[in-house]
Amino acid sequence: LPRLEVNQFARILHVGDEPEMVAAQIEAEGLLPGMVLRVSEITPNRVRFWCGGEEHVLAPIVAATISVQPLDEHAIAEVPQDGAYLSDLTVGQKGRVVQLMPKLRGAERRRLLDLGMLPGTTIEAEMSSPMGDPVAYRVRDSLIALRKDQARNIKIELLVDEV
């Protein structure tokens, strides 16, 4: 990863699992094989890049444990552009699920799929709690409350009501 150039796209091939503290930091960042990243800054002190709709900053020694494959122009064209996330909807707005982020795994991913968060599903932000978190979303005639950190893992396409 630290050998890439600024603004270069790459796909994560492998995330090192040793030393344990480095692996824990990478896991906490939600970086997984298959995800696509774009480098925004490389200095002797840090590697800054965008991946999964979020900006990440790692020490070069940590970034070096992530194996990547640079993407050519054809592969870059197929990478979904950063768009909106379910957490971006305000009450009354609608969106269509594009994908669940790859960092969602296991029981949490299955729960969202079981609740109907499938690609193509239309979702509307129906009501918000007094503090703004969680938010109730209408999904297939059911109301489902999600916290912002959960909704941030669901990529959507904003829908505009036709008049």
Per-residue pLDDT, 121: 92
Residues spanned by the domain of 29: 9-77
Do 67 and 107 lie in one domain? The reply is: no
Q: Looking at the domain assignment, is residue 97 inside a domain? A: yes
CB 51 within 8 A of CB 31: yes
Q: Is the dihedral of CA 85, 86, 92, 95 positive or negative?
A: positive
Q: Looking at the domain assignment, is residue 3 inside a domain? A: no
Rg of the Cα atoms in the chain:
18
The CATH number of residue 131's host domain is 2.30.30.90
- Mean pLDDT by runs of 10 across the 163 residues of the chain is 88 86 85 85 93 86 93 66 77 88 83 89 92 91 91 84 50
Q: Looking at the domain assignment, is residue 123 inside a domain? A: yes
Per-residue pLDDT, 163: 41
What's the total number of domains in the chain?
Answer: 2
Strands 47-51 and 135-139 come out as unpaired
Do 153 and 88 lie in one domain? The reply is: yes
Per-residue pLDDT, 83: 65
Phi-psi region of 153 (alpha: psi -120 to 50; beta: other; left: phi over 0): alpha
Do 58 and 106 lie in one domain? The reply is: no
Per-residue pLDDT, 137: 95
- Half-sphere exposure in the Cβ direction for 52 (13 Å, CA): 17
Per-residue pLDDT, 152: 86
Do 88 and 154 lie in one domain? The reply is: yes
